[in-house]
Amino acid sequence: MEDLPERKFRPPKPLQEVRAGFTILGDEILGYQPMQRRNKVMHGETIIVGFRVFVKVDGVNPIKVAMGSEIGDAAALAYHHLPEEKKNDVGRSAARYITLSPAEFSKVIGVAWIAGATRSDRLPPTWVWVALGSDSTKAHIMTRPTLRQWIGTRLADKYIDSFFVERDIVPEWAAIGYTTDPGNDSRYLSLTYPAPRQVLSARYDLRPRVQDNRAQNSAGRDTGMDELSRKFDRLMEFMIEERKEVRQERREQNDLLMRLLPASPK
């Protein structure tokens, strides 16, 4: 019996004392996002129910997203209590990036997503760490929709996709094997790992109902109609998915405008 090759394990990082700006494993916190909800007791007030934290890690993809409880509640709170100029609130920065010129975008440094959140009809919540040409004081981390609004939907998705390809990273939505966007291959900026697209169910059967008894007498005509129906199915599926993307882009733009508008006086 042949000896199995020895497997090399990287020793785990030791737990460390709490330091503001670092996790309990000593990794640097790049930014965070307080998770808030409305206070049912105090009308108009919000309360913080948790934190989403972005951590710098070793490897080809240098960023991960984790809940505050995962990196250590004490570490998350210590970061939250830092002075404003020493912490990076990712949620508050979103509107700022949209006002910048797309020419300020330099490259994608890392991509983080919530593991296990991929669905058959959509990507998981995703954040992108980017480099700007004029500012490197803080880590510039934004959601995929924000990056899309800033430099364009197709271009943003292409930059993210190229990041994965260049580093031999297979994202979760590609590894699962869901049906993908049927129009991807025909696009100029086609993706190696396109977004999942849910297959139309039977209740969306949009094939034309042809009632022609004479057609049953010709096998060739039946074959032709079947092929026409399949092409029609593919065309309608493509059009529906395109409309979904347009509606999603409009919602993202409306959300952005609402954030940019000044708050109404009380």
Q: How confident is the model at residue 87 (pLDDT cuts 50, 70, 90)?
A: very high
**Nearest by Cα to 128 from 101, 99, 158, 100:** 158
pLDDT tens per residue across span 245-265: 656 656 655 655 555 455 555
Query: How many CB atoms lie under 10 A from the CB of residue 146?
Result: 23
> Hey, what's the torsion of the CAs at 53, 58, 63, 69, to 10 degrees?
-20
| Average pLDDT of the segment spanning 213-238 | 58
| Average pLDDT of the segment spanning 86-110 | 90
Secondary element (H or E) of residue 111: strand 105-113
Determine the 3-state secondary structure of 58 from DSSP.
coil
Q: How confident is the model at residue 182 (pLDDT cuts 50, 70, 90)?
A: confident
Residues 6+ apart with CB under 8 A from 75: 18, 19, 22, 23, 24, 29, 68
* Cβ atoms of residues 29 and 79 within 8 Å: yes
pLDDT tens per residue across span 123-139: 999 999 999 987 667 89
CA distance 65 to 56: 9
Return the pLDDT at 256: 52
Secondary element (H or E) of residue 48: strand 46-56
CA distance 204 to 190: 27
Q: How confident is the model at residue 180 (pLDDT cuts 50, 70, 90)?
A: confident
CA distance 247 to 236: 17
C-alpha pair distances (Å), 67 with each of 62, 128, 157: 17, 17, 25
pLDDT tens per residue across span 52-77: 999 999 999 999 999 998 988 899 99
Bridge pairing between strands 46-56 and 29-38: antiparallel
Q: How confident is the model at residue 144 (pLDDT cuts 50, 70, 90)?
A: very high
